[in-house]
Amino acid sequence: MNDEGEAACGFATTTHCPLLPTRRLVWAETALVFLVFFLQGAWPVPEVNEPYYLGKAIHYWNPDWVRGDFFLDSADTHKVFYFTFGWLSLWLPPVAFAWVGRMLTWGLLAWAWQRLSFAVLPRPWWSVLSAALLVCLNERCHMAGEWIVGGVEAKGFAFVLVLLGVEALVRNRWNRAWLLLGGAALFHVLVGGWSAVAAGLAWLWLGGDRPPLRSMWPGLLGGFVLSLPGLIPSLILTWGVDSEVVSKAHLIYVFGRLPHHLAPGRFPLLHVIRFVLLMFLWLMLCQATPVDRAGSRFRAFVAGAIVIGAVGVVIGLLTARNPVAGAALLRFYWFRLSDVAVPMGVALGGAEFVDWLLRSRPAAGKRWLAIFLVIAGLHVGWYAFRRPVPAVPRADKGRVANYGGWRDACQWIANSGSIPPDARFLTPSMSQTFKWYARRPEVVTWKDIPQDAHSIVVWWNRINDIHATGSEDPDERWHRSLAELGSNRLRQLGSKYHADYVLTVSRPRLDLDVVYANDSYVVYRLCD
């Protein structure tokens, strides 16, 4: 079938051009895909990154919300996300704000996934199974900790536009694809930017089955212009900053704070092995399944994402003895797209493989369909089983001792008439929900790393000044609690960082003025 025939049908197939899906079918499939995404991501609020991104969004529209916090007052990089979504926080409390954002993100992702699935495999209901496989493989086989369905942040909205852009690419509508990928970069420059690079690599790979470059200039230009509000704030993070400070910030960001996302030499071996096996599974599915031109375009995009990740691995190997150069290059999240694209490739490639078997070798097709249904069903079913069980938010799980005591102490601070709204706190290093619950500024916390070079260095200096032990033993590098520092040291830190209070564990008790205490946590006053 030629491209004109593909455009008329909206997709191509190796056998025939089926009827377009009815609106009722589209809505039904989208609703079921949404249910899959809901079960995957509906953890108690807040999710791991929600205090970080939603806190920034709330503060963007209401600077009086936790005024004087070091992280919230640092440079904003995802301004389009804050501007287009954050205004809802003017009317919604943070928990409702998070849930509205989740529902919106998952709904849009479900709609975009149904469209992409039908473009690759124009058969009803396969989008539901492939969606379940996607979230299963993305969670259980990622290499660098990246995800597509989770809490509310800028990359969720960016991935909606990436899925729509890949759908346009699959349907041979390249100008639309470039515009959509530029829109993705508008919300998250790295998600959209790497997706555009993968699409460019796909265009090169496709050879004769591609439009000429001159025909794509409107989409390329339009996509680039669309990306600028996302690109420019990222570029200015290092403008006017001394080169030594910039280099130090890169080292801190890549090897100090985020090696699990950025430095391939620091990835857990199990994560690498399972991702490589998933990649080989995708290659075997590609070899085993006949493909049409639409499917070839999708495979070329996945291959482009793999190439980008492979370049990241090469950079990590070549710069192993030069961490300054390595940090300067690895900070661009080379593995973010492949962590999502390879599960996408296996999910849709597996659906194509089973569909082909059902038509060519029905008995084998039914066996493979059963296998995929069991895998997807066990993953989604496990989450469906766990949802009714009360759980600790993942932003707190493993990060604070005794969630109930932590929450009670923070809520007492939030509701206390004796603690001013701008009173600054010294808080546990690994806690990340203090501002979310207590609505008070804090000096520094591990999770809330700023994005501009100068503030990254300041953040690192604060973390080490307050929480580091000075030991060279990695297991003894950090104090287990602020209480270990003692009363005099805490008073010195309070004076240095203009902190008025300390929130720490209740044992050992310190020689400071106690203003609140429960079985697990105590609030001390540092100043008269």
C-alpha to C-alpha distances, 369 to 358, 366, 384, 520, nearest whole angstrom = 9, 5, 21, 51
Confidence bin at 395 (pLDDT 50/70/90): very high
pLDDT greater at residue 475 or residue 309: 309
pLDDT at 507 over 60: yes
C-alpha to C-alpha distances, 363 to 231, 355, 370, 371, nearest whole angstrom = 52, 12, 11, 13
What is the biggest distance separating any 2 CA atoms in the chain, rounded to whole angstroms? Answer: 81
Q: What is the pLDDT of residue 72?
A: 97
How far does CA 271 lie from the centroid of its chain? 17
Confidence bin at 527 (pLDDT 50/70/90): confident
Give alpha helix (H) positions in 211-292: 217-235, 243-251, 259-262, 269-288
Strand partners, 524: 502, 514
Residue range 461-473: mean pLDDT, rounded: 94
Residue with tokens 């804090």: 442
**Please, what is the average pLDDT of the chain?**
93
Give per-residue pLDDT as tens, 468-496.
999 988 889 999 999 999 999 999 999 99
- How do beta strands 521-525 and 501-505 pair? antiparallel
522 three-class SS: strand
Confidence bin at 20 (pLDDT 50/70/90): low
pLDDT at 174 over 60: yes
Give per-residue pLDDT as tens, 119-144.
999 999 999 999 999 999 999 999 99
Give per-residue pLDDT as tens, 96-124.
999 999 999 999 999 999 999 999 999 99
Q: What is the pLDDT of residue 2?
A: 41
Give the DSSP letter string of 129-162. HHHHHHHHHHHHS-SSS--SSSSSSHHHHHHHHH
C-alpha to C-alpha distances, 308 to 87, 97, 193, 199, 321, nearest whole angstrom = 35, 35, 11, 11, 22
Dihedrals phi, psi of 216, to nearest 5 degrees: -100, 0
pLDDT at 8 over 70: no
d(CA 298, CA 345): 8
Give per-residue pLDDT as tens, 239-272.
889 999 999 999 999 999 999 999 999 999 999 9
Give per-residue pLDDT as tens, 399-412.
998 999 999 999 99
How far does CA 282 lie from the centroid of its chain? 23
pLDDT at 386 over 70: yes
**Would you report the helix, strand and coil content of the chain in percent, each value rounded to 5?**
65, 5, 30
CB 43 within 8 A of CB 393: yes
Give per-residue pLDDT as tens, 192-239.
999 999 999 999 999 888 899 999 999 999 999 999 999 999 999 998
